[in-house]
Structure 1
Amino acid sequence: METLKVSQITKKYGRQTILDDISLTIQPGKIYGLLGRNGAGKSTLLNLIVNRILPTNGTIKLGNDDINDNDAALTQFYLMSEVSLYPKHVTLKQ
């Protein structure tokens, strides 16, 4: 995997700012953790990195490639959340 670079990311929902001008670099071969209280923006940052949601401002790059709608870059990530993407009545077979 290449270096992941988050540059000046801001995420707003309406007038509420969730992340404000966040920048970080994640090097390959290292382990990182996100720590913070509930509502600090940890899940929002992860959802931005995997392109589930789009930033209000800023860029996220894997190597030199922007991850926005970049299938080749996005195959390097997997994010599982506690929220089910399927309705409760849907079976495995469906």
Structure 2
Amino acid sequence: MSHTTEWKARVYLFEEDHTTKVRVELDTGTNRLTGHGTARCNPVDQDIPEIGDELAAARALEELAVQLKHIAYGDMIKSGAAPQEPSLMPYGARTHDALTR
């Protein structure tokens, strides 16, 4: 079974007073989701806007990932294939935890 689709995403970054805010909008064709992320520059740190952009965007995308997992788990349950161990933790965090034990 072959399946191809396209999802559209828009990333909006706003910076003011050493705070970066990001809004990511994702349109999957069947769902429209929005994730938000914020990063603040410590007053004693050098202000490097790219770092704030990266952190805030990563946090917004993590929020989107949790939303997508909720939708996927709900769809799995509806189809009769409930997830064995639903986890809302980021995938990499589970891998990192296993490696650091």
Q: Normalised by the size of structure 2, how large is the TM-score?
A: 0.25
If asked which structure has higher relative contact order (CA below 8 Å, sep 6+), I would say: 1
Q: Normalised by the size of structure 1, how large is the TM-score?
A: 0.26
Structure number with bigger Rg: 2
